[in-house]
Amino acid sequence: MTQHNNQQAQRKAAMAVLAHAEAGEIAARLRALALPAHQDLRAPENGLVMLRGRVGGDGAPFNLGEATVSRAAVRLASGEVGFGYTLGRDGDKARLIALCDALVQSSDFGAAVEREIIAPLREQLMVRRKQAAAETAATKVDFYTMVRGEG
């Protein structure tokens, strides 16, 4: 069970990185691997997900509005089934995420995918976020009290 939960956490962490990457970046990194045989279990499909917020930020949920989402599923010849979901309408990206998700679950490829694809993309994402955070931080207000001129 713990192993199952571990793998689930690992898959989710990989998806959280892949969803932020461009299809081209994922494809370019996948070229570094000798990919096993695989096939589409579900061809990429575009649809909608209703995005929800919460009343007051932390209360009961409400429907805010929809977003476009693309999804796909891929099966490796060795049997692992991967799923790809991403905001937007890029079916190729959904398929690439599904392929990565299948590879993450494979004992032969799991480590290589993490090393060659997920880790560098995560690094890239962190650099982007850090830069944005630094630019934001420069707009933080420093209040100071005016010193009264005396004497």
Partner 1 sequence: MYVAVKGGERAIENAHRLLANARRGDQGVPELTLDQISEQLGLAVDRVMSEGSLYDRELAALAIKQARGDLIEAIFLVRAFRATLPRFGASEPVDSGAMRVQRRVSSTFKDIPGGQILGPTFDYTHRLLDPSLAEGFVPETPATAEASTAPTPRVTDILGRDGLIESSPQAEDGAGVGDLTREPLNFPADRDLRLQNLARGDEGFLLAMGYSTQRGYGRNHPFAGEIRFGEVEVEFAAEDVGFAVPLGSIELTECQMVNQFKGSATEAPCFTRGYGLAFGQSERKTMSMALVDRALRARELGEEALAPAQDEEFVMSHSDNVQATGFVEHLKLPHYVDFQSELGLLRKLRQEFSEAFAKANAPDAMKEAAE
137 binds partner 1 (CB under 8 A): yes
Name residue, tokens 């570094």. 32
| Residue 19 contacts partner 1 per CB under 8 A | yes
**What distance in Å separates the CA atoms of residue 123 and residue 129, rounded to the nearest whole number?**
10
| Contact flag: residue 105 with partner 1 (CB under 8 A) | no
Q: Check the CA dihedral 85-91-93-96 and report its sign.
A: positive
Amino acid at 119: A
Q: Does 64 bind partner 1 (CB under 8 A)?
A: yes
| Stretch of residues binding partner 1 (CB under 8 A), selected from 26-34, 108-116, 123-131 | 123-131
Query: Which amino acid is it at 104?
Result: V
The structure tokens listed for 58 are 């932390």
Q: How far is CA 79 from the centre of its chain?
A: 23
Q: 71-90: which residues touch partner 1 (CB under 8 A)? A: 71, 73, 83, 85-89
Residue range at the interface with partner 1 (CB under 8 A); choices 16-24, 30-38, 104-112, 115-123 = 16-24
> Shortest Cβ distance from residue 149 to partner 1 (Å)?
23
Hunting for tokens 């999804």 — which residue is that? Answer: 71
Please tell me the distance from the alpha carbon of residue 38 to that of residue 19, in angstroms, as a whole number: 21
39 binds partner 1 (CB under 8 A): no
Q: How far apart are the C-alpha atoms of 37 and 117, rounded to whole Å?
A: 18
Pick the stretch among 11-19, 28-36, 110-118 that binds partner 1 (CB under 8 A): 11-19
Q: Give contact residues for partner 1 (rule: CB under 8 A).
A: 8, 11-12, 15-16, 19-20, 45-69, 71, 73, 83, 85-89, 129-141, 143
